[in-house]
Amino acid sequence: MDYLTTEQNNPDSVAIDQMDPIEIARLMNREDQKVIVAVEKVLPAIAQAIDLVTKRVERGGRLIYIGAGTSGRLGVLDASECPPTFNTPPSLVVGLIAGGHRALTTAIEGAEDNSQAGAEDLRGVELNPTDVVCGIASSGRTPYVLGALAYARTIQAATIGVTCNQASELTAVCDVLVAPIVGPEILSGSTRLKAGTATKMVLNMISTGTMVRIGKTYGNWMVDLRATNVKLKDRSIRIVSGITGLGRNEAELLLGTCDGEVKTAIVSHTLGISKHAAQERLLESAGRLRNALDKN
């Protein structure tokens, strides 16, 4: 562990226990600014990851995040936000964490040290060769994650590694390695800080970039969202109104006749066709709104 960047001592925070609140806040803010720079340096690798996941998903594969502790929680978080944001089935983006569901809120001692458990958890979700496994480990050496990625490679599933250490054991088991180097934390080894922020940014890019590439958006509108609450219902109305030019009341009525489906409502209105015809057109266009609207 001694050689890991994330385990080094940060000289700027050696007196943090003597700082007042504003000094602590300023220090953390200065350190967090390094995250943006670190992530920018690995954008080519992030782009490779987006391309890899997109191709696998288009072939019927899944994106499976796997990690321990904070890394695992961030993967589960990203996976859980895809269904309401992009109307994806829960099975498309999956989050696995060492120790299982209880580990989301409680530290499960030793769970991350079991390399066999990572492979077992992937077997539990019936990993197949069309899937992509994204192993998340700030240290780059978590046995649970390494075991999972090694198993994934044995069945020809694609592998991505996300870490905040340059020289790591993840390299040997990844098709694409994303390694933003954020430097030592203000609390030595506390990777829930800068490393966690960098990881969240990387996962945001991978999942969002993939969803854009597979047609889940129209411009910057989230046209495939699922209106599961009042806020999202209101957003659906605003999206339909913004794209079609209809007033709010008209957009709401149109959504009502189209089963609340944003893309169906837009195609139906724009092309002057029925709900069923719009749904058929979207089906023929693989769900891509732009293609459905442009199709002759």
116 alpha-carbon distance from chain centroid: 25
HSE value, Cβ hemisphere, 13 Å, CA-based, for 180: 27
Select from 157, 144, 162 the least CA-distant residue to 108.
144
- Catalytic choice (7, 58, 81, 252): 81
Residue spans in the chain of domains classed CATH 3.40.50.10490: 5-213
- Number of Cβ within a 10 Å radius of residue 286: 11
End-to-end CA distance of the chain: 60
112 is catalytic: yes
- C-alpha to C-alpha distances, 275 to 152, 228, 236, 278, nearest whole angstrom: 42, 21, 16, 5
Q: Which CATH architecture has domain 230-294?
A: Orthogonal Bundle (1.10)
Task: Identify the pLDDT of residue 296.
Answer: 55
Helix (H) / strand (E) element for 121: namely: helix 115-124
CB-CB contact of 62 with 131 (8 Å): yes
Task: Identify the pLDDT of residue 168.
Answer: 85
- Write down the pTM of the prediction: 0.92
- Catalytic choice (7, 23, 58, 112): 112
Task: Identify the pLDDT of residue 5.
Answer: 85
Q: Which residues of 243-263 are buried (b: 16+ CB within 10 A; e: fewer)?
A: bbebeeeebbebbeebeebbb
Residue spans in the chain of domains classed CATH 1.10.8.1080: 230-294
CB-CB contact of 176 with 45 (8 Å): yes
Amino acid at 255: L
Sorted by sequence, the CB contacts under 8 Å of residue 158 that are 6+ apart come out as 52, 53, 56, 61, 131, 132, 133, 152, 175
CA distance 244 to 264: 12
pLDDT tens per residue across all 296 residues of the chain? 567 888 888 999 999 999 999 999 999 999 999 999 999 999 999 999 999 999 999 999 999 999 999 999 999 999 999 998 998 999 999 999 999 999 999 888 788 989 999 999 999 999 999 999 999 999 999 999 999 999 999 999 999 999 999 878 999 999 999 999 999 999 999 999 999 999 999 999 999 999 999 999 999 999 998 788 999 999 999 999 999 999 999 999 999 999 999 999 999 999 999 999 999 999 999 999 999 998 65
CA distance 176 to 41: 15
23 is catalytic: no
Task: Identify the pLDDT of residue 109.
Answer: 72
Select from 61, 45, 43 the least CA-distant residue to 53.
61
CATH of domain 5-213: 3.40.50.10490
